Structure 1
Amino acid sequence: MTRRALALLLPLFASVLVTATPAAATPAASPAEATLAWTEGPCPGTTGVTVVADLAAFPGGSVVRRCDTGTPATAFAALTDVELAPEHGTGEGETGPYEYLCRIDALPATADDSCAGFAPDAPYWAFWVPDTTTANWGYAEEGVDTYAPAAGVVLGFSFGAGTASDPNEMSLTLAQAKDPNWTPGS
């Protein structure tokens, strides 16, 4: 090959090498730079989704109220958005495998529940929504993975066996859940 041919091909190779070099990746935002999608306490008015996790059934537990300032697609997503770390359990039922809400905020502990299905009279996470006829909590007719919360709704979660001795009910009323001035024990 002549010098002239090389001189003509060199710019072509150089442009191939330059375009083949990967672009510098944009660094991801650090956790400190990430903005929270929630605030402490109930949401104001008809904005956001208020998430109430009643942890009073656990030693040292209390009521956690957080406002999901976004628009969660499901109740499970709302728990995730407010950083309560929900976890699914998986069981085998009459119609096949199923998933359910097994843990909130690492409760119950893995040693207490393997999240491998429901056991009769065993404690579980109950899911509550506003009952429009009584203006208090009503047991949700949908599961946490299918319930799509509307803006302004309050979601409640309580833990217990659902028996006469352990009724598994919210330890606060719906009005208390919505009240920005309410504190546990008041």
Structure 2
Amino acid sequence: MKKTLRTYAPGALALIAALALGGCAQAAPSASSSDTPSSTPLSSTGDCSGVTVVVDFGTLDAEALTECVDADASLAASTVMQTAGITTEGTVEYGDQIVCRVNDRPAADETVEVEGEASFTEACASMPAAYAYWALWVKPTPDADWAYAQEGLGSLQTAPGETLGLVYTTGTETPTPGS
């Protein structure tokens, strides 16, 4: 039996460990309709007093997105994405802790090609290929550096002033949103 060694970007192993140690998603408190956050497109120079969302589709053929989600208290990252109008899909094995698709990309019938690697279609069964996956990033303030998220989308909490980023990462480099 041949075994394949899979390597992941920094933070991915911490996420796997957190999942194994009980980092399951916690239900977000329900909000009344008057407390429901809203989203507005954010220009590159715009200020966001809530949570900024940046989605970089990398090699997938789609335009990058930047949104501002109104928030005056902590929100689940999954709620922030949903409010911003960004759909995410998790995996069968890890649920919404691992992001498999963003706005249906890569599509279930889309062939993902990465130079030097075997092409494939993403089934969203378990962990994605180490050379083609959605990386989740956080930034505590606008002038801070990006940090690889230590929790999955399903359990990560965001606060006003923070930025949440998703980047479709291919190859051996792990780019930050907007880089």
The TM-score normalised by the length of structure 1 is 0.60
In structure 2, the residue matched to 1:44 is 47
Give the share of equivalent positions with the same residue, in percent. Answer: 27
Q: Report if the CA contact (8 A) 2:136-2:164 is conserved.
A: yes
Aligned partners of 1:127, 1:36: CA distance in 2, in Å? Answer: 21
Aligned partners of 1:44, 1:119: CA distance in 2, in Å? Answer: 34
The TM-score normalised by the length of structure 2 is 0.62
Matched position secondary structure for 2:146: strand
Where structure 2 has 5 or more consecutive residues not aligned to the other structure, the ranges are 1-35, 110-120
After TM superposition, the runs of 4+ consecutive aligned structure 1 residues lying more than 2 A away are 42-45, 70-73, 119-122
Aligned partners of 1:75, 1:55: CA distance in 2, in Å? Answer: 18
Aligned partners of 2:151, 2:37: CA distance in 1, in Å? Answer: 28
Which of 140, 144, 160 is the matching residue for 2:149? Answer: 140
Cα distance change of structure 1 residues 150 and 37 upon mapping to structure 2, 3 Å threshold: same
1:102 aligns with 2:104: no
Larger radius of gyration: 1
Matched position secondary structure for 2:161: coil
Matched position secondary structure for 1:117: coil
Matched position secondary structure for 1:50: strand
- Counterpart of 2:122, as a letter, is D
Q: Report if the CA contact (8 A) 2:74-2:160 is conserved.
A: no
Higher relative contact order (CA closer than 8 Å, sequence separation 6+): 2
Aligned partners of 1:62, 1:118: CA distance in 2, in Å? Answer: 25
| Higher helix fraction (1 or 2) | 1
- Counterpart of 1:149, as a letter, is T
In structure 1, the residue matched to 2:69 is 68
Aligned-pair distance for 1:170?
2.4
Aligned partners of 1:119, 1:141: CA distance in 2, in Å? Answer: 17
In structure 1, the residue matched to 2:88 is 86
Where structure 1 has 5 or more consecutive residues not aligned to the other structure, the ranges are 1-34, 92-97, 174-186
In structure 2, the residue matched to 1:172 is 178
Aligned partners of 1:172, 1:102: CA distance in 2, in Å? Answer: 20
Number of matched residues? 127
Aligned partners of 1:55, 1:64: CA distance in 2, in Å? Answer: 9
Q: Report if the CA contact (8 A) 2:37-2:69 is conserved.
A: no
